[in-house]
Every structure is written in C-alpha cells, then in structure tokens.
Chains A and B, each alone.
Chain A
Amino acid sequence: MTAPALSGDRPAALPKLSLKLGDIIRIAVIGLIALGLMYVVWGLYLAGEPLFAVVVMALLIGIVVVFGARQFYTGRFVFPAVTTVLIFIALPVLYTSYVGFTNYGARNLLTFDRVTDQFLKQREIDKSTERPFAMVAADGGYQLFLPEGEGGLISEVFQLDGAPVTVTLQPVAAAPGETMPMKDVVKFRAQLSAVSARLPDGSEIQSSGLRSFAKITSVYQRQDDGALLNIADGSRLTPDQSVGFYRNDAGQTVAPGWRVHVGFDNFRRVLFNDGIREPMFQIFLWTVVFATLSMVLTFTVGILLASVLQWEHLRGKAIYRILLILPYAVPAFISILVFRGLFNQNFGEINLILNALFGIKPNWGTDPNLARATTLIVNTWLGYPYMMLIGMGYLQSVPSEHYKAAALEGSGPVRTFFSVTLPQILPPFVPLLISNFAFNFNNVVLILLLTRGLPDIPGTQIPAGQTDLLGSFTYRISFQDAGQSFGLAGAISTLIFIIVGIIAYANFVALRRAAEARGRG
C-alpha cells in the first residue's frame, strides 16, 4: 500500500528528443481514430440521434486530449477502462431512466421527422392513367415503349442500373420489332421503380406494377402549420406533440406515432393505475421473498456442506468437492433449461418418476406456489456451491483451538457450529450475502429461461406472471409481449435502479467494514 507515487510526468532521466518515430505513429493512430469517430458523429447526427452524437463527440475529444497531450500521461492508463464503463453501464442506466419519461414503445418508435416522412412518402396510383408498357433491348441500354394503337411512345436509350432516371417519350408510328419477354422484365423490377417517364403532355408516370406504368401522386402534402393535407379528399392530419400522434379531423390518433416526453405519466401508471399497481406490488413482494429465500437457502446448504467437508476425519474430500461444485461449473443457461424440461408437466422426467412412485403429477407449470417452489429449488441448486466454496475458505480461518476448547467444554457439533463457527464466519460473509441478494433480486436469466414468469396473474392490464421478478417483468414488457412499451419498462427500471442503488451502497459500506476488520486482524 505504500507504493512510491510515480508522478504522471515522464521521468527527467529520459532526454527529451525531438519528434520520435513512436510519437509520429501515436499521433497518426489518434488521427485515424478521431477521423473514424468524426464519421460516426456525423452519421449519428444525420440519423436523428443527437444525444448519441454528443456522447461520441465527447469520446472523441477525450481520446484526442488524453492521448495527445503529455500532461495526461496517467490518464492514458485509466481513461479507456473508465470510458467503457461509463458508455456501456452508466449511459444505459441513465438512458433507461430517461426513456421512462417518454412514450417510447412499439406504437411510438420513431422520431417526429421520420413519422412525418413516412406519411409524406405514401403514394397513390392514379388508376385512370395506368397503361401497359414494354421494354426494348437497344445498343448500350434499354428503351421504354408504351403501345398506343398501331404505334406508341418510345424513350431514348437509357441505363437500367437502379439509379433514378427520367426519360422523355416521343411518339413513333410503328411498334419496335422486338420487345423483351416478360420474364426478363420481371428481373428488372427493382431498377424499373427508379425510372420516371415524361409523356409528351408534360406529365410524368412511373412503374405501378409488373405490367403497367401510371401517374403516381403523394397522398399527403405538408401545410404551413405543420398539418398534413390529404390531397385526394381534403381531410387533414394535425400533429399532437403531447401524445406523439397525428390526429385526424375526428380527433382520433393515427398510427404510427413518434417519441415525445410524457413527464411522470409512466410513473403515475405504475403507482396509481390499479391494473398495473396491484400486479406490480405482488411482483415486488415476490421479488423480495425470492431474493431473501435464495440467499438464506444457498447460504444454509453451502455452509452445511462446507462444515461437513472441512471435518478432519472425512476422507475423499477432493472427489466430494468436485462433485459438489458441478452445478456451479455447468453453464447456468444449460442447467436452467435442463430443469425446464425435467419439470415439464407432461413430458418431464420428474413427473414421470413421481407418477410411477406415488401416482401424482404436480402442476409445476400452472400452480403458482409450485411454480415458485420450482424457481427456488433450481436457484438453490445453482447457488449453493458458491457459498460452499467461499465458506470453506472462511472456515479455515477459524482457529482450531476454538474447536478444541468447545469440545473440552462438552459441546456437540451443532452447538459448536452455532456458538463458535457461525459468529466467526458471518461478518466476512455479509458483503457477499448482500451482493447475492442484489444478484437474485435481478435474476432475470433464471426466470426468463425457467418459467418465463408464468403462470400469469389473472386480470391484469399488462402481462404479469406469478413467478416474475421485477426485472423479468420489465424485460418482458420491453421485448417479449405484444405492445412493447419501453417507456413503462424504463419507469419500472428506474424504480429498480433506486432500490439497487440503496443495496449497492449498503454493500459498499459492508465491504469497507470487512476491509477495516481485516486490516485490524
């Protein structure tokens, strides 16, 4: 801990020469990275993501300053790590909370500009102008031919390469000798959609189908006040920025909508809307119960096994140890799915055995209490080896004299455990137990892979399950069920972040205490 403080400056022992090759390479690399990031900033800005553009811009400036200027030599060691954590942990946490204040979701996915653009891009084919066409292969390109009586209209030779092109049609007396067969024309369907043909009367027609060209007009036209006028029937769509939708003349909202800030609306829904609040409260209670029971069960089983394994008269410890930590060694996503299969109501091997032995087939999947028991059984199975491994380490630090003294006093193993062992190993365990609680509080993977939150709580507005944890509930709102609502999910996540923040701080204080206790001992 008493390391000499190396100052950030280069030691004076190195003579400062003029620009060395290393410096040139360094500056060149920084320049290249800066250019690349500049391109990203510009792209993000054009894509309508000013927030992320600012973040990347800040990153760019940070890199140039820290790696360019000599006085930030120390910073070069820390900057990459800290920036990564900020961008991929802190920024997402903040952004998720921010989304909680918007109506972002499947119905309000895009920005206002993109939605308006979609309306303006809607096209209508004027059926009265529709007419058949043919393509003519010519030297160095193709010609468009629109038959009209004996003759027709024919264009100049043009390239059919997908680039937008406007061709002018001239009347001809006779049809060209040979037109391309239909199957060849079909191949050029995509390229043909970029072709616009100007008729002798000045109007323009475009490809309106496999066999026809027609006049294609926009459905909507933007008015000066921001409303969209339907050119055909004269109705108007008025943007309503408070809900993020266009409203028609009758006042109804028209999809698609765009993202707008809705203040505390989502939080109000979570806290005051009965259809959401009641299942939320139930899920919150279950989350706390689940995390507490998981912690207690894994700790109990783990310490029990650790105590037995530490017993000096026990032989074959190494083999027992390896076998006992297997549940921890197998990737969790595999074992959870294995349990999903084993607990399956109809095809699962557990019910197969229970049926053969006792003639019962418990409804693991549909009975709320059994489903909850399943999650706890599986989570204990997954989590006890960690507690056991850590416990074995701490048990070794209990002085053997204490055991001898207890034995001399005539204390049995159970009493010795509770009055000698436990009081000594519990304090260093506290931070681990707190982080275990926090981990299980958000054990989304277990729930998503094992029960997917099912069975559902009846009579709720949004799908909520009896085994859902707050986290998996949020995850489902965002990604799985119909009507994804990122805004609502963001609001619930924010509440979870606050809870986690409190737990994290408690854990931090506990860690500090443990470290101080170690320092003293």
Chain B
Amino acid sequence: MIVEHPRSLLWRKFLAHGFLICFIALILFPFLIVLSISFRPGNFSTGDLIPRVISLEHWSLAFGIPYEMPNGTVAQPPFPVILWLWNSVKIGVIASAGILMLSMTAAYAFSRMRFKGRGFILDGLLIIQMFPAALTVIALYTIFDALGNVTPIFGVDSHWSLILSYLSAITLHIWTIKGYFDSIDPAMDKAAQIDGATPWQTFRYVFLPMSVPILAVVFVLSFIFLVTEYPAAAVLLRETDNMTLAVGARQYLYDQRYLWGDFAAAAILSGLPITLVFLLAQRYLVSGLSEGGVKG
C-alpha cells in the first residue's frame, strides 16, 4: 500500500512471518511427533521426543515384514496395512468411476435438457446431501443384510456392497459438473444437433472431451472422500482382511492393545499417498467447493 510507512512496514512483516512460523510449528507438531514415534523402539513413550535409538521395527511391521527384535524374538505384523491400503484404493477407484458416470450423465441432462421436475430434483439433491449418512447406517446395514440372503456378493462384509452404497455420494458432484457444462457455449450443441447428433452423441463426442479437466477433479475429490469415509465402512466391513484403511487404522489404539509405535509408522505409510493426491488436487478442490455449490 502506497501510504504505508517503511519502518512500520518492516515491523509488520516481521510480525507476520513470526506469527506464521509459530503457528505452523504448532500445527505441524503432531506430524513431527508421529514421525519420531515411528522410529522409536517399542510401543510406549519412553521420555525422549527425539529417539536416541533409531529402530526400523515399526516400519518393517507396517510393510508386513516380520521384524527380529534385539533380544531375538520375532515380531509379527499386527495388521495387514498394505492390504487395507489396497482395499481402500480399489473401492475408492471403482466407486469414484461409478460416481463419475452417474453424475456426468445427470449433470448433462440438468444442464442441457428441459424436463418436468428439473428444478425440483436439483434443489432436492442440494437439500438431501446434508442428511448425515452416519445416522442411516442402521438402515444401510439392514438393506445389505437382506440382500446378502439373496446373494453374498451384495451382503454384509462385501466390498461391492460398500461400493454400491458409495454411489449415492453424487449430489454435490452433479452440481459441480453442471456448473461447468453450463459454461460451455450453447452453439456447440446446436452445431452437433444440426449435424444430426442425438443428445447422447452430443454428450459423448462434444461434451465429454471438453470436460476432461473438471471430470478429473471430480474423480479425485470423490476418491479422497471415499478413501477417508468411516461410518458406513465400519458397519459394513467386518473381517480384518476386508477392512479399508479408515476402519482398520482404529484397530491399533484399543485400550487393551495399544500399539502406538506401530500405528505411527502405518499412519505415515498409508496417509502419505492420500495426502499427496490431495495436495496435487487442492487448487481445483477449492474452486470446486466454492463455485460448484453456489452456482445457481
């Protein structure tokens, strides 16, 4: 700002940096501690924040490799972390692909077609997405318990059940994609229509290629949301080998069996990929969050 006094400016800069550095130190403290814990031998805090002895015990167990302790006993990995990560990624990718298909076709119709109840459905989606999924898990459990009587593929403790229930997480994505489709020049579909394209062909050959960026964003957003989803997964997945990371991670910290060190290594190992995906996508995430929901 033009009118600011140089000395006061320097002082303010100093304050701003000081504040930010202190704040970040405070915010990052948990991460640094966890990193340190993951290299600390044993599962209990020993009084050193920076471990004097570096031990790879927890990391080895997190990767599923049995670890030979200094006293000769061999520790077995307590939980299949890598398998859980794989389950999470598998469910996340398949369900996100399904979500993308459902939301982009619907968004196209809402953006380009006029039909009865269009405004009503759009508003309804906005309202219905606020209902807490965590409270309907009883019903979800009952539904899949009933379906399981018919076919175990869609019963309790099946990944396909979870994927099916995740497909309903499309409400906000429809709005986001619709916002993008709305901004595509109407002359495009006019041209396609004149060339004799059906609405489906217009969608498939005109809109899809033009919307790859927003579709990628929606895919990543939905992937991150699903990989971190807890209530439904906790209720539908029972067997240890079937669990996703979000459900499994909790197994480490039961009062009877408190594996703090093993948890630290597993948390970093499994949290890192998801965090990286998020950081790469975060720029789009913000515009999606603030624009998609508000655009009328």
Residues of A within 8 A of B (CB): 1-6, 8, 10-11, 13-14, 39-40, 43-44, 47, 49, 52, 73-78, 80-82, 84-85, 87-93, 95-96, 99, 305, 308-309, 311-314, 316, 320, 322-335, 337-342, 344, 347-349, 352-353, 381, 386, 389-390, 393-394, 403-404, 407-408, 413, 428, 431-432, 435, 438, 441-442, 444-445, 448-449, 471, 474-475, 478-479, 486, 489-490, 493, 496-497, 500-501, 503-505, 507-508, 511-512, 514-516, 518-519
Q: Which residues of B contact A497 (CB under 8 A)?
A: 131, 135
Of B51-59, B71-79, B267-275, the stretch lying at the interface with chain A is B267-275
Task: Output the residue of B19, B125, B165, B230 with the most chain A CB within 10 A.
Answer: B230
The 8 A CB mask of B106-133 against A (1 = contact, 0 = none) is 1011111111000001010111111111
16 A-B interface contacts by CB (under 8 A): A6-B199, A8-B115, A13-B196, A74-B115, A84-B102, A84-B170, A85-B170, A89-B168, A96-B139, A99-B139, A329-B278, A341-B263, A341-B264, A394-B290, A479-B138, A496-B132
Is the beta-carbon distance between A320 and B24 smaller than 8 angstroms? Answer: yes
Nearest chain A residue, comparing its CB with the CB of B280 = A329
Interface set, chain B 25-73, CB cutoff 8 A to A? 27-28, 30-31, 33-34, 37, 44-45, 47, 49
| Separation of A334 and B275 alpha carbons in the complex (Å) | 11
| Chain A residue nearest to B109 in the complex (CB) | A77
Q: Are A89's CB and B112's CB within 8 A? A: no
Select A442's contact among B19, B112, B132, B285, beta carbons within 8 Å. Answer: B132
Q: Are B253 and A92 in contact (CB under 8 A)?
A: no
Q: Which 5 A-B pairs have the closest CB atoms?
A: A43-B150, A515-B296, A92-B136, A88-B168, A77-B109
Alpha-carbon gap, A471 to B3, bound state (A): 53
Minimum distance in angstroms from B192 CB to a CB of chain A? 10
Give 18 A-B pairs besides A5-B113, A328-B278, A335-B30 with Cβ atoms closer than 8 angstroms: A10-B198, A52-B143, A77-B109, A82-B121, A85-B170, A89-B129, A92-B136, A99-B142, A314-B13, A331-B245, A337-B252, A338-B264, A393-B290, A408-B3, A475-B134, A475-B137, A503-B130, A511-B126
Answer whether residue B140 sits at the interface, using C-beta atoms and an 8 A cutoff.
Answer: yes
Alpha-carbon distance A408/B1, docked complex (angstroms): 10
Q: When each residue 205-242 of chain B gets 1 if its CB lies under 8 Å from chain A and 0 otherwise, what string results?
A: 00000000000000000001001101100010000000
Name A333's contact: one of B31, B164, B230, B260 (CB within 8 Å): B230
CB closest residue in chain B, given A52: B146
User: A39–B150 contact, CB under 8 A?
Assistant: yes
Contact call A337/B113, Cβ cutoff below 8 A? no
A480 to B164, alpha carbons, bound, how many Å? 24
B157 CB, min distance to chain A CBs, angstroms: 15
Question: CA of A428 to CA of B282 in the docked complex: distance in angstroms?
Answer: 21
Take A330-B271, A431-B293, A445-B231 as given contacts and tell me if A337 and B130 are in contact as well, using a CB distance cutoff of 8 Å: no
Docked Cα-Cα span, A44 to B198, in Å, equals 39
Q: Does B106 contact A78, Cβ atoms closer than 8 Å?
A: yes
B171 within 8 A of A: yes
Given contacts A326-B28, A471-B135, contact A438 B130 (CB under 8 A): yes
A511 lies within 8 A of B293 (CB): yes
User: In the complex, what distance in Å separates the CA atom of A311 from the CA atom of B263?
Assistant: 40
Cβ contact of B186, chosen from A3, A335, A342, cutoff 8 A:
A3
- On whether the beta carbons of A308 and B20 are closer than 8 Å, the reply is yes
Q: How far is the CB of B89 from chain A (nearest CB, A)?
A: 12
Residue A403 contacts which of B1, B102, B109 (CB distance < 8 angstroms)? B1
By a CB distance below 8 angstroms, the chain B residues around A386 are: 289
Q: Is the CB of B20 within 8 A of A320?
A: yes
